[in-house]
A and B are shown apart, each in its own frame.
Chain A
Amino acid sequence: MQPLTNKAQAVNRAPMSFWERLYLINIIKGMFITFSHMFKKQPTIRYPEQKREFSHVFRGLHVLNRDEAGRERCTACGLCAVACPAEAITMEAAERQDGEENLYREEKYAAKYEINMLRCIFCGLCEEACPKDAIYLSETFAPANYTRKGFIYGKEDLLIPNPTTEAAAFAAAKGVEA
Protein backbone atom coordinates (compact mmCIF):
# COMPACT_ATOMS: atom_id res chain seq x y z
CA MET A 1 0.00 0.00 0.00
CA GLN A 2 1.15 3.49 -0.79
CA PRO A 3 1.79 5.57 2.33
CA LEU A 4 -0.92 8.19 2.71
CA THR A 5 1.23 10.61 4.64
CA ASN A 6 4.92 11.31 4.87
CA LYS A 7 4.86 10.76 8.63
CA ALA A 8 5.69 7.05 8.52
CA GLN A 9 9.07 6.13 10.00
CA ALA A 10 10.92 2.87 9.68
CA VAL A 11 11.40 1.13 13.03
CA ASN A 12 14.99 1.47 14.13
CA ARG A 13 16.22 -2.05 14.86
CA ALA A 14 19.87 -1.17 15.20
CA PRO A 15 21.45 -2.57 18.39
CA MET A 16 21.55 -0.08 21.23
CA SER A 17 24.72 1.86 21.72
CA PHE A 18 26.57 1.81 25.03
CA TRP A 19 25.00 5.05 26.22
CA GLU A 20 21.54 3.81 25.32
CA ARG A 21 22.13 0.57 27.19
CA LEU A 22 23.31 2.54 30.17
CA TYR A 23 19.72 3.87 30.38
CA LEU A 24 20.77 6.52 32.89
CA ILE A 25 20.97 9.34 30.35
CA ASN A 26 17.60 8.45 28.94
CA ILE A 27 16.15 8.47 32.43
CA ILE A 28 17.50 11.97 32.97
CA LYS A 29 16.08 13.08 29.62
CA GLY A 30 12.72 11.66 30.58
CA MET A 31 12.88 13.38 33.93
CA PHE A 32 13.46 16.72 32.24
CA ILE A 33 10.41 16.11 30.08
CA THR A 34 8.23 15.46 33.11
CA PHE A 35 9.80 18.42 34.90
CA SER A 36 8.92 20.73 32.02
CA HIS A 37 5.29 19.73 32.49
CA MET A 38 5.29 21.36 35.90
CA PHE A 39 5.18 24.74 34.19
CA LYS A 40 2.57 23.95 31.60
CA LYS A 41 -0.91 25.38 31.72
CA GLN A 42 -3.39 22.96 33.24
CA PRO A 43 -6.39 22.29 31.04
CA THR A 44 -8.50 21.40 34.09
CA ILE A 45 -11.94 22.96 34.45
CA ARG A 46 -12.96 22.83 38.13
CA TYR A 47 -16.44 21.68 37.35
CA PRO A 48 -19.04 22.89 39.83
CA GLU A 49 -17.46 26.33 40.06
CA GLN A 50 -16.32 26.63 36.47
CA LYS A 51 -18.36 25.28 33.63
CA ARG A 52 -17.39 24.61 30.09
CA GLU A 53 -19.37 26.65 27.59
CA PHE A 54 -21.69 24.53 25.50
CA SER A 55 -21.79 25.07 21.78
CA HIS A 56 -24.83 26.91 20.45
CA VAL A 57 -25.96 23.80 18.65
CA PHE A 58 -25.75 21.68 21.78
CA ARG A 59 -28.86 19.58 22.25
CA GLY A 60 -29.63 19.07 25.92
CA LEU A 61 -32.73 18.75 28.07
CA HIS A 62 -36.09 19.45 26.48
CA VAL A 63 -38.14 22.52 27.28
CA LEU A 64 -41.86 22.87 26.66
CA ASN A 65 -42.33 26.37 25.38
CA ARG A 66 -44.93 29.03 26.15
CA ASP A 67 -45.97 31.96 24.00
CA GLU A 68 -45.57 35.64 24.92
CA ALA A 69 -48.78 35.59 26.97
CA GLY A 70 -47.57 32.61 28.99
CA ARG A 71 -49.84 30.05 27.35
CA GLU A 72 -48.59 26.55 26.63
CA ARG A 73 -47.88 26.12 22.96
CA CYS A 74 -48.22 22.35 22.85
CA THR A 75 -51.36 21.08 21.25
CA ALA A 76 -50.70 17.40 21.88
CA CYS A 77 -50.64 16.51 18.19
CA GLY A 78 -48.19 13.68 18.89
CA LEU A 79 -45.87 14.49 15.99
CA CYS A 80 -42.90 14.64 18.32
CA ALA A 81 -43.73 11.20 19.70
CA VAL A 82 -43.98 9.86 16.17
CA ALA A 83 -40.73 11.46 15.14
CA CYS A 84 -38.89 10.20 18.20
CA PRO A 85 -36.57 7.34 17.13
CA ALA A 86 -36.07 6.24 20.73
CA GLU A 87 -39.77 6.29 21.59
CA ALA A 88 -39.06 8.35 24.64
CA ILE A 89 -42.08 10.65 24.47
CA THR A 90 -45.56 9.84 25.79
CA MET A 91 -48.49 12.22 26.03
CA GLU A 92 -52.16 12.36 26.80
CA ALA A 93 -54.33 15.00 25.17
CA ALA A 94 -57.20 16.89 26.77
CA GLU A 95 -59.69 19.45 25.53
CA ARG A 96 -59.38 23.04 26.67
CA GLN A 97 -62.35 24.06 28.78
CA ASP A 98 -63.97 27.49 28.87
CA GLY A 99 -61.96 29.87 31.02
CA GLU A 100 -58.67 28.10 30.31
CA GLU A 101 -57.80 30.28 27.32
CA ASN A 102 -55.10 32.02 29.34
CA LEU A 103 -53.43 28.63 30.03
CA TYR A 104 -53.42 26.90 26.68
CA ARG A 105 -52.96 28.44 23.30
CA GLU A 106 -54.80 25.86 21.25
CA GLU A 107 -58.12 24.13 21.82
CA LYS A 108 -56.39 20.90 22.63
CA TYR A 109 -53.49 20.58 25.02
CA ALA A 110 -51.25 17.93 26.60
CA ALA A 111 -52.66 16.92 29.96
CA LYS A 112 -49.70 14.63 30.48
CA TYR A 113 -46.38 14.96 28.69
CA GLU A 114 -43.52 12.68 29.66
CA ILE A 115 -40.03 12.20 28.28
CA ASN A 116 -37.90 9.33 29.45
CA MET A 117 -34.44 10.86 29.61
CA LEU A 118 -32.83 7.43 29.78
CA ARG A 119 -34.33 6.53 26.42
CA CYS A 120 -33.88 9.91 24.81
CA ILE A 121 -30.87 10.17 22.49
CA PHE A 122 -31.06 13.98 22.24
CA CYS A 123 -31.29 13.89 18.46
CA GLY A 124 -33.61 16.89 18.27
CA LEU A 125 -36.05 15.31 15.85
CA CYS A 126 -38.96 16.25 18.17
CA GLU A 127 -37.87 19.86 17.90
CA GLU A 128 -37.89 19.59 14.11
CA ALA A 129 -41.22 17.77 14.00
CA CYS A 130 -43.14 20.23 16.17
CA PRO A 131 -45.47 22.44 14.10
CA LYS A 132 -46.23 24.71 17.04
CA ASP A 133 -42.67 25.56 18.12
CA ALA A 134 -43.61 24.05 21.46
CA ILE A 135 -40.61 21.86 22.22
CA TYR A 136 -36.96 22.62 21.89
CA LEU A 137 -33.74 21.30 23.29
CA SER A 138 -31.92 23.52 25.77
CA GLU A 139 -28.27 23.85 26.69
CA THR A 140 -28.37 21.81 29.89
CA PHE A 141 -28.13 18.10 30.43
CA ALA A 142 -30.07 15.75 32.70
CA PRO A 143 -28.59 15.74 36.21
CA ALA A 144 -27.83 12.46 37.96
CA ASN A 145 -30.61 10.72 39.81
CA TYR A 146 -30.90 7.83 42.25
CA THR A 147 -33.78 6.02 40.53
CA ARG A 148 -34.83 5.28 36.99
CA LYS A 149 -38.16 6.85 37.79
CA GLY A 150 -36.40 10.12 38.42
CA PHE A 151 -35.38 10.26 34.79
CA ILE A 152 -38.97 10.30 33.51
CA TYR A 153 -39.54 14.02 33.21
CA GLY A 154 -43.15 15.19 33.41
CA LYS A 155 -44.71 18.46 32.44
CA GLU A 156 -43.73 20.14 35.70
CA ASP A 157 -40.03 19.44 34.89
CA LEU A 158 -40.22 20.39 31.25
CA LEU A 159 -42.42 23.47 31.12
CA ILE A 160 -40.60 26.74 30.80
CA PRO A 161 -41.40 29.33 33.53
CA ASN A 162 -44.25 31.72 32.70
CA PRO A 163 -42.85 34.84 30.99
CA THR A 164 -45.58 37.08 32.40
CA THR A 165 -45.20 36.11 36.04
CA GLU A 166 -41.59 34.89 36.21
CA ALA A 167 -39.81 36.88 33.53
CA ALA A 168 -36.30 36.41 34.91
CA ALA A 169 -36.63 32.63 35.25
CA PHE A 170 -38.11 32.48 31.76
CA ALA A 171 -35.19 34.35 30.28
CA ALA A 172 -32.72 32.13 32.11
CA ALA A 173 -34.46 28.97 30.92
CA LYS A 174 -34.67 30.23 27.39
CA GLY A 175 -30.93 30.81 27.31
CA VAL A 176 -29.01 32.29 24.42
CA GLU A 177 -30.81 32.36 21.11
CA ALA A 178 -28.76 30.48 18.57
Chain B
Amino acid sequence: MTLLSFDWAFIIEKLIMIAIIVFASLGIALYTTFGERKVAAILQDRPGPSRAGPFGLLQPLADGLKLISKEEIIPSHANKWLFILGPGLAMTASLMTCAVIPWSTAVDVFGRHVELQVADVNIGLLYVFAVVSMGVYGIMIGGWASNNKFSLMSALRAASQAISYELAMGLALIALLMTTGSLSLKTIVEQQVSGNWWNIVYQPLGFLLFFVAALAECNRTPFDLPEAENELNFGYHQEYSSMKLGFYLFAEYINMIMSSAIMASMYFGGYDLPFFNEASVAPNIAALIGVGTLLIKIVLFIFLFMWIRWTIPRFRYDQLMNLGWKTMIPLALFNLLLTGAVILAKL
Protein backbone atom coordinates (compact mmCIF):
# COMPACT_ATOMS: atom_id res chain seq x y z
CA MET B 1 0.00 0.00 0.00
CA THR B 2 2.89 2.34 0.59
CA LEU B 3 3.54 2.38 -3.12
CA LEU B 4 0.07 3.73 -3.75
CA SER B 5 0.20 6.37 -1.09
CA PHE B 6 0.85 9.21 -3.50
CA ASP B 7 -0.31 12.69 -2.92
CA TRP B 8 -3.10 12.20 -5.46
CA ALA B 9 -4.16 15.83 -5.38
CA PHE B 10 -0.61 16.78 -6.31
CA ILE B 11 -0.60 14.41 -9.28
CA ILE B 12 -3.99 15.60 -10.49
CA GLU B 13 -2.90 19.21 -10.11
CA LYS B 14 0.21 18.59 -12.17
CA LEU B 15 -1.68 16.61 -14.82
CA ILE B 16 -4.22 19.41 -15.22
CA MET B 17 -1.40 21.89 -15.46
CA ILE B 18 0.39 19.80 -18.10
CA ALA B 19 -2.81 19.46 -20.10
CA ILE B 20 -3.52 23.19 -19.94
CA ILE B 21 0.03 24.12 -20.91
CA VAL B 22 0.26 21.61 -23.76
CA PHE B 23 -3.08 22.60 -25.25
CA ALA B 24 -2.41 26.29 -24.69
CA SER B 25 0.94 25.97 -26.46
CA LEU B 26 -0.71 24.11 -29.34
CA GLY B 27 -3.39 26.78 -29.58
CA ILE B 28 -0.86 29.58 -29.45
CA ALA B 29 1.28 27.79 -32.05
CA LEU B 30 -1.79 27.48 -34.27
CA TYR B 31 -2.32 31.19 -34.11
CA THR B 32 1.38 31.91 -34.41
CA THR B 33 1.22 30.44 -37.91
CA PHE B 34 -1.61 32.85 -38.60
CA GLY B 35 0.39 35.67 -37.03
CA GLU B 36 3.38 34.79 -39.16
CA ARG B 37 1.36 35.09 -42.34
CA LYS B 38 -0.32 38.28 -41.17
CA VAL B 39 2.95 39.90 -40.10
CA ALA B 40 4.62 38.90 -43.35
CA ALA B 41 1.72 40.33 -45.29
CA ILE B 42 1.58 43.62 -43.40
CA LEU B 43 5.34 44.11 -43.70
CA GLN B 44 4.98 43.60 -47.44
CA ASP B 45 1.98 45.96 -47.88
CA ARG B 46 -0.50 43.10 -48.30
CA PRO B 47 -3.65 42.33 -46.28
CA GLY B 48 -2.72 38.68 -45.66
CA PRO B 49 -5.23 35.87 -45.03
CA SER B 50 -8.60 37.56 -44.68
CA ARG B 51 -11.17 35.18 -46.12
CA ALA B 52 -11.81 32.53 -43.48
CA GLY B 53 -13.92 34.09 -40.75
CA PRO B 54 -13.69 37.70 -39.55
CA PHE B 55 -10.23 39.09 -40.43
CA GLY B 56 -9.27 35.57 -41.54
CA LEU B 57 -9.21 34.42 -37.91
CA LEU B 58 -10.40 30.91 -38.81
CA GLN B 59 -7.52 30.45 -41.26
CA PRO B 60 -5.38 28.29 -38.90
CA LEU B 61 -8.34 25.97 -38.34
CA ALA B 62 -8.81 25.64 -42.08
CA ASP B 63 -5.08 24.94 -42.46
CA GLY B 64 -5.19 22.31 -39.72
CA LEU B 65 -8.24 20.67 -41.28
CA LYS B 66 -6.48 20.61 -44.61
CA LEU B 67 -3.37 19.01 -43.13
CA ILE B 68 -5.37 16.36 -41.30
CA SER B 69 -7.52 15.45 -44.28
CA LYS B 70 -4.62 15.20 -46.73
CA GLU B 71 -3.35 11.84 -47.90
CA GLU B 72 -0.57 10.40 -45.80
CA ILE B 73 2.32 9.32 -47.99
CA ILE B 74 5.26 7.27 -46.77
CA PRO B 75 7.84 6.93 -49.55
CA SER B 76 8.56 3.32 -50.51
CA HIS B 77 12.29 3.72 -49.93
CA ALA B 78 11.91 5.43 -46.61
CA ASN B 79 12.71 3.76 -43.33
CA LYS B 80 9.15 3.52 -42.07
CA TRP B 81 9.75 3.51 -38.33
CA LEU B 82 12.22 6.36 -38.35
CA PHE B 83 10.04 8.23 -40.81
CA ILE B 84 7.17 8.17 -38.32
CA LEU B 85 9.45 8.73 -35.32
CA GLY B 86 10.97 11.94 -36.76
CA PRO B 87 8.03 14.34 -36.50
CA GLY B 88 6.92 12.78 -33.23
CA LEU B 89 10.32 13.37 -31.70
CA ALA B 90 10.49 16.93 -32.98
CA MET B 91 7.09 17.66 -31.46
CA THR B 92 7.82 15.92 -28.14
CA ALA B 93 11.12 17.69 -27.70
CA SER B 94 9.63 21.10 -28.34
CA LEU B 95 6.67 20.47 -26.02
CA MET B 96 8.86 19.09 -23.23
CA THR B 97 10.61 22.43 -22.89
CA CYS B 98 7.55 24.06 -21.38
CA ALA B 99 7.77 21.89 -18.25
CA VAL B 100 10.21 24.19 -16.46
CA ILE B 101 8.88 27.58 -17.47
CA PRO B 102 7.43 29.45 -14.49
CA TRP B 103 4.21 31.00 -15.82
CA SER B 104 3.45 33.11 -12.80
CA THR B 105 3.38 33.35 -9.03
CA ALA B 106 1.44 30.73 -7.12
CA VAL B 107 -2.35 30.79 -7.03
CA ASP B 108 -4.76 29.58 -4.34
CA VAL B 109 -7.30 27.12 -5.69
CA PHE B 110 -9.82 25.90 -3.08
CA GLY B 111 -7.32 26.58 -0.34
CA ARG B 112 -4.57 24.74 -2.21
CA HIS B 113 -1.31 26.46 -2.95
CA VAL B 114 -0.67 25.82 -6.66
CA GLU B 115 2.59 26.79 -8.29
CA LEU B 116 2.07 27.79 -11.93
CA GLN B 117 4.97 25.70 -13.11
CA VAL B 118 4.93 22.04 -14.01
CA ALA B 119 8.26 21.28 -12.38
CA ASP B 120 10.58 23.62 -10.52
CA VAL B 121 13.71 21.61 -11.26
CA ASN B 122 16.84 23.00 -9.69
CA ILE B 123 18.68 22.30 -12.94
CA GLY B 124 15.90 23.82 -15.06
CA LEU B 125 18.13 25.49 -17.60
CA LEU B 126 20.24 22.39 -18.03
CA TYR B 127 17.05 20.45 -18.67
CA VAL B 128 16.01 23.00 -21.30
CA PHE B 129 19.34 22.55 -23.03
CA ALA B 130 19.12 18.78 -22.94
CA VAL B 131 15.64 18.86 -24.47
CA VAL B 132 16.44 21.49 -27.06
CA SER B 133 19.42 19.53 -28.29
CA MET B 134 17.15 16.50 -28.55
CA GLY B 135 14.98 18.49 -30.94
CA VAL B 136 17.61 18.22 -33.61
CA TYR B 137 17.18 14.44 -33.55
CA GLY B 138 13.69 14.91 -34.92
CA ILE B 139 15.10 16.77 -37.88
CA MET B 140 18.05 14.40 -38.27
CA ILE B 141 15.93 11.25 -38.15
CA GLY B 142 13.30 12.74 -40.45
CA GLY B 143 15.91 13.79 -42.98
CA TRP B 144 17.72 10.48 -42.82
CA ALA B 145 14.62 8.31 -42.98
CA SER B 146 13.23 10.16 -46.00
CA ASN B 147 16.02 8.59 -48.08
CA ASN B 148 16.27 11.70 -50.18
CA LYS B 149 19.38 13.67 -50.99
CA PHE B 150 17.89 17.05 -50.21
CA SER B 151 16.44 15.88 -46.93
CA LEU B 152 19.74 14.33 -45.89
CA MET B 153 21.65 17.48 -46.80
CA SER B 154 19.24 19.55 -44.78
CA ALA B 155 19.45 17.18 -41.83
CA LEU B 156 23.24 17.45 -41.89
CA ARG B 157 23.01 21.21 -42.01
CA ALA B 158 20.55 21.26 -39.14
CA ALA B 159 22.75 19.06 -37.01
CA SER B 160 25.95 21.02 -37.61
CA GLN B 161 24.11 24.30 -37.13
CA ALA B 162 22.56 23.18 -33.87
CA ILE B 163 25.90 21.95 -32.53
CA SER B 164 27.71 25.16 -33.53
CA TYR B 165 25.17 27.50 -32.01
CA GLU B 166 24.47 25.49 -28.88
CA LEU B 167 28.05 26.18 -27.83
CA ALA B 168 27.64 29.93 -28.07
CA MET B 169 24.22 29.67 -26.43
CA GLY B 170 25.63 27.68 -23.53
CA LEU B 171 28.54 30.05 -23.04
CA ALA B 172 26.21 33.06 -23.08
CA LEU B 173 24.13 31.31 -20.48
CA ILE B 174 27.05 30.49 -18.20
CA ALA B 175 27.73 34.21 -17.90
CA LEU B 176 24.12 34.67 -16.82
CA LEU B 177 24.44 31.84 -14.32
CA MET B 178 27.49 33.51 -12.83
CA THR B 179 25.41 36.56 -12.02
CA THR B 180 22.31 34.74 -10.82
CA GLY B 181 23.99 31.77 -9.16
CA SER B 182 21.08 29.45 -9.92
CA LEU B 183 19.99 27.08 -12.67
CA SER B 184 16.36 27.10 -11.60
CA LEU B 185 14.25 29.30 -13.84
CA LYS B 186 11.91 30.05 -10.95
CA THR B 187 14.77 31.37 -8.84
CA ILE B 188 16.13 33.43 -11.73
CA VAL B 189 12.73 35.05 -12.27
CA GLU B 190 12.17 35.61 -8.56
CA GLN B 191 15.52 37.41 -8.34
CA GLN B 192 14.42 39.74 -11.11
CA VAL B 193 11.02 40.30 -9.51
CA SER B 194 12.49 41.20 -6.12
CA GLY B 195 15.60 42.91 -7.44
CA ASN B 196 15.45 46.24 -9.17
CA TRP B 197 16.78 45.34 -12.58
CA TRP B 198 16.13 42.70 -15.16
CA ASN B 199 19.04 40.53 -16.20
CA ILE B 200 19.20 42.23 -19.61
CA VAL B 201 20.82 45.19 -17.81
CA TYR B 202 23.63 43.01 -16.48
CA GLN B 203 24.00 40.85 -19.60
CA PRO B 204 23.26 42.84 -22.76
CA LEU B 205 25.95 41.09 -24.83
CA GLY B 206 24.94 37.75 -23.37
CA PHE B 207 21.34 38.37 -24.38
CA LEU B 208 22.32 39.34 -27.91
CA LEU B 209 24.35 36.15 -28.28
CA PHE B 210 21.60 34.07 -26.75
CA PHE B 211 19.01 35.65 -29.03
CA VAL B 212 21.02 35.02 -32.19
CA ALA B 213 21.73 31.47 -31.07
CA ALA B 214 18.03 30.99 -30.32
CA LEU B 215 17.19 32.09 -33.87
CA ALA B 216 19.62 29.50 -35.12
CA GLU B 217 18.29 26.79 -32.81
CA CYS B 218 14.72 27.44 -33.95
CA ASN B 219 15.85 27.29 -37.60
CA ARG B 220 14.43 30.75 -38.14
CA THR B 221 15.61 33.14 -40.83
CA PRO B 222 18.40 34.23 -41.26
CA PHE B 223 19.47 30.77 -40.08
CA ASP B 224 16.83 28.69 -41.83
CA LEU B 225 19.35 26.75 -43.86
CA PRO B 226 17.87 23.36 -42.97
CA GLU B 227 14.63 24.43 -44.65
CA ALA B 228 16.01 26.63 -47.42
CA GLU B 229 13.08 26.46 -49.80
CA ASN B 230 15.02 27.52 -52.86
CA GLU B 231 18.10 25.38 -52.33
CA LEU B 232 16.84 22.22 -50.69
CA ASN B 233 13.16 22.11 -51.63
CA PHE B 234 12.03 22.54 -48.01
CA GLY B 235 14.80 20.28 -46.77
CA TYR B 236 13.99 17.69 -44.16
CA HIS B 237 10.23 17.87 -44.50
CA GLN B 238 10.23 17.47 -48.24
CA GLU B 239 8.90 13.91 -48.21
CA TYR B 240 6.40 14.54 -45.47
CA SER B 241 2.73 15.11 -46.03
CA SER B 242 -0.44 15.40 -44.00
CA MET B 243 -0.19 15.82 -40.23
CA LYS B 244 3.42 14.61 -40.10
CA LEU B 245 4.35 17.74 -42.00
CA GLY B 246 2.00 19.61 -39.72
CA PHE B 247 3.91 18.28 -36.69
CA TYR B 248 7.21 19.55 -38.07
CA LEU B 249 5.77 22.97 -38.82
CA PHE B 250 4.07 23.06 -35.45
CA ALA B 251 7.21 21.99 -33.65
CA GLU B 252 9.02 24.94 -35.19
CA TYR B 253 6.41 27.37 -33.89
CA ILE B 254 6.30 25.77 -30.46
CA ASN B 255 10.09 26.02 -30.35
CA MET B 256 9.72 29.69 -31.10
CA ILE B 257 7.20 30.17 -28.30
CA MET B 258 9.32 28.25 -25.83
CA SER B 259 12.53 30.05 -26.64
CA SER B 260 10.64 33.33 -26.36
CA ALA B 261 9.35 32.25 -22.95
CA ILE B 262 12.82 31.23 -21.83
CA MET B 263 14.38 34.47 -23.06
CA ALA B 264 11.63 36.47 -21.38
CA SER B 265 12.17 34.55 -18.15
CA MET B 266 15.93 34.73 -18.16
CA TYR B 267 16.60 38.24 -19.36
CA PHE B 268 13.33 40.17 -19.19
CA GLY B 269 11.98 39.33 -15.78
CA GLY B 270 9.56 36.58 -16.80
CA TYR B 271 6.17 37.33 -15.26
CA ASP B 272 7.43 40.53 -13.63
CA LEU B 273 5.40 43.57 -14.56
CA PRO B 274 7.68 46.57 -14.01
CA PHE B 275 6.65 49.35 -11.59
CA PHE B 276 3.91 47.18 -10.15
CA ASN B 277 3.82 45.79 -6.65
CA GLU B 278 2.40 42.27 -6.76
CA ALA B 279 1.78 42.30 -3.02
CA SER B 280 -0.74 45.13 -3.38
CA VAL B 281 -3.42 42.88 -4.95
CA ALA B 282 -4.85 39.48 -4.10
CA PRO B 283 -2.43 36.63 -4.91
CA ASN B 284 -4.73 35.14 -7.57
CA ILE B 285 -5.07 38.45 -9.39
CA ALA B 286 -1.33 39.01 -9.12
CA ALA B 287 -0.80 35.57 -10.67
CA LEU B 288 -3.19 36.41 -13.52
CA ILE B 289 -1.38 39.67 -14.17
CA GLY B 290 1.87 37.73 -14.14
CA VAL B 291 0.62 35.24 -16.73
CA GLY B 292 -0.61 38.11 -18.91
CA THR B 293 2.72 39.90 -18.61
CA LEU B 294 4.67 36.80 -19.59
CA LEU B 295 2.35 36.18 -22.52
CA ILE B 296 2.76 39.75 -23.74
CA LYS B 297 6.53 39.38 -23.53
CA ILE B 298 6.32 36.11 -25.47
CA VAL B 299 4.17 37.70 -28.16
CA LEU B 300 6.62 40.60 -28.48
CA PHE B 301 9.49 38.16 -28.89
CA ILE B 302 7.59 36.16 -31.47
CA PHE B 303 6.86 39.36 -33.35
CA LEU B 304 10.57 40.16 -33.25
CA PHE B 305 11.34 36.70 -34.65
CA MET B 306 8.90 37.27 -37.49
CA TRP B 307 10.01 40.81 -38.07
CA ILE B 308 13.58 39.57 -38.50
CA ARG B 309 12.43 36.75 -40.75
CA TRP B 310 10.74 39.14 -43.17
CA THR B 311 13.65 41.56 -43.17
CA ILE B 312 16.90 39.64 -43.49
CA PRO B 313 17.79 37.14 -46.20
CA ARG B 314 19.29 33.77 -45.34
CA PHE B 315 22.99 33.43 -44.56
CA ARG B 316 25.23 31.41 -46.79
CA TYR B 317 26.43 28.21 -45.18
CA ASP B 318 30.04 29.34 -44.75
CA GLN B 319 28.83 32.65 -43.33
CA LEU B 320 26.72 30.73 -40.85
CA MET B 321 29.68 28.67 -39.69
CA ASN B 322 31.97 31.72 -39.61
CA LEU B 323 29.50 33.64 -37.50
CA GLY B 324 28.99 30.72 -35.15
CA TRP B 325 32.58 29.68 -34.56
CA LYS B 326 34.64 32.78 -35.26
CA THR B 327 32.38 35.50 -33.87
CA MET B 328 29.79 34.20 -31.46
CA ILE B 329 31.97 31.82 -29.45
CA PRO B 330 34.86 34.30 -28.95
CA LEU B 331 32.33 36.98 -28.02
CA ALA B 332 30.64 34.61 -25.58
CA LEU B 333 33.99 33.77 -24.02
CA PHE B 334 34.79 37.48 -23.75
CA ASN B 335 31.44 38.08 -22.12
CA LEU B 336 32.20 35.27 -19.69
CA LEU B 337 35.55 36.80 -18.77
CA LEU B 338 34.03 40.25 -18.41
CA THR B 339 31.29 38.97 -16.14
CA GLY B 340 33.81 37.08 -14.06
CA ALA B 341 36.03 40.15 -13.75
CA VAL B 342 33.14 42.34 -12.66
CA ILE B 343 32.01 39.80 -10.08
CA LEU B 344 35.55 39.55 -8.73
CA ALA B 345 35.92 43.32 -8.62
CA LYS B 346 32.69 43.62 -6.66
CA LEU B 347 33.73 41.08 -4.02
Genuine A/B complex: yes
Residue of A nearest to B43 (CB): A34
- Could you tell me the distance between the alpha carbons of A9 and B21 in the complex, rounded to whole angstroms? 57
Asked whether, in the complex, the Cβ of A30 is within 8 Å of the Cβ of B312, the reply is yes
Minimum CB–CB distance from A118 to chain B (whole Å) comes to: 30
- Could you tell me the distance between the alpha carbons of A37 and B311 in the complex, rounded to whole angstroms? 11
Residue of B nearest to A21 (CB): B327
**Chain B residues whose CB sits within 8 angstroms of the CB of A34 once the complex forms:** 43, 307, 310-311
Minimum CB–CB distance from B37 to chain A (whole Å) comes to: 14
- Could you tell me the distance between the alpha carbons of A74 and B315 in the complex, rounded to whole angstroms? 66
Cβ-based interface call for A165 (8 A): no
- Known pairs A27-B312, A30-B312; A42 contacts B47 (CB<8 A): yes
Q: Which of A27, A35, A42 makes the CB contact (< 8 A) with B46? A: A42
Interface residues of A in 12-56 (CB under 8 A from B): 27, 30-31, 33-35, 37-38, 40-44, 46
Minimum CB–CB distance from B313 to chain A (whole Å) comes to: 10
**Chain B residues whose CB sits within 8 angstroms of the CB of A31 once the complex forms:** 307-308, 311
Cβ-based interface call for B42 (8 A): yes
Q: Which of B45, B307, B310, B312 makes the CB contact (< 8 A) with A42? A: B45
Q: Mark B120-147, 1 if CB is under 8 A from A, else 0.
A: 0000000000000000000000000000
**Chain B residues whose CB sits within 8 angstroms of the CB of A27 once the complex forms:** 308, 311-312
Q: Which of B45, B47, B308, B312 makes the CB contact (< 8 A) with A37? A: B45
Q: When A and B form their complex, what is the total count of cross-chain residue pairs whose Cβ atoms lie within 8 Å? A: 32
Cβ-based interface call for B160 (8 A): no
- Could you tell me the distance between the alpha carbons of A123 and B171 in the complex, rounded to whole angstroms? 70
**Chain A residues whose CB sits within 8 angstroms of the CB of B50 once the complex forms:** 46
- Could you tell me the distance between the alpha carbons of A106 and B42 in the complex, rounded to whole angstroms? 59
Cβ-based interface call for B44 (8 A): yes
Asked whether, in the complex, the Cβ of A38 is within 8 Å of the Cβ of B311, the reply is no
Interface residues of B in 20-44 (CB under 8 A from A): 42-44
Residue of A nearest to B51 (CB): A46
- Could you tell me the distance between the alpha carbons of A43 and B45 in the complex, rounded to whole angstroms? 7
Residue of B nearest to A40 (CB): B45
Most buried by B among A33, A34, A38, A40: A34
Residue of A nearest to B47 (CB): A44
Asked whether, in the complex, the Cβ of A35 is within 8 Å of the Cβ of B307, the reply is yes
Q: Mark B49-64, 1 if CB is under 8 A from A, else 0.
A: 0100000000000000
Asked whether, in the complex, the Cβ of B311 is within 8 Å of the Cβ of A46, the reply is no
Q: Mark B288-329, 1 if CB is under 8 A from A, else 0.
A: 000000000000000000011011100000000000000000
**Chain A residues whose CB sits within 8 angstroms of the CB of B310 once the complex forms:** 34
Asked whether, in the complex, the Cβ of A44 is within 8 Å of the Cβ of B43, the reply is no
Residue of B nearest to A43 (CB): B45
Residue of A nearest to B304 (CB): A31
- Could you tell me the distance between the alpha carbons of A33 and B312 in the complex, rounded to whole angstroms? 11
**Chain A residues whose CB sits within 8 angstroms of the CB of B44 once the complex forms:** 37
**Chain B residues whose CB sits within 8 angstroms of the CB of A35 once the complex forms:** 43, 307
Asked whether, in the complex, the Cβ of A38 is within 8 Å of the Cβ of B42, the reply is yes
- Could you tell me the distance between the alpha carbons of A32 and B250 in the complex, rounded to whole angstroms? 29
**Chain B residues whose CB sits within 8 angstroms of the CB of A33 once the complex forms:** 311
- Could you tell me the distance between the alpha carbons of A27 and B311 in the complex, rounded to whole angstroms? 8
- Could you tell me the distance between the alpha carbons of A43 and B308 in the complex, rounded to whole angstroms? 23
Query: What are 26 A-B residue pairs whose CB atoms fall within 8 Å in the complex?
Result: A27-B308, A27-B311, A27-B312, A30-B311, A30-B312, A31-B308, A31-B311, A33-B311, A34-B43, A34-B307, A34-B310, A34-B311, A35-B43, A35-B307, A37-B44, A37-B45, A38-B42, A38-B43, A42-B46, A42-B47, A43-B45, A44-B45, A44-B46, A44-B47, A46-B47, A46-B50
The 4 closest A-B pairs by CB, nearest first: A34-B311, A34-B43, A30-B311, A31-B311
Other than the known A33-B311, A42-B46, A44-B47, what 18 A-B pairs have Cβ atoms closer than 8 Å?
A27-B311, A27-B312, A30-B311, A30-B312, A31-B308, A34-B43, A34-B307, A34-B310, A34-B311, A35-B43, A35-B307, A37-B42, A37-B43, A37-B44, A40-B45, A42-B47, A44-B45, A46-B50
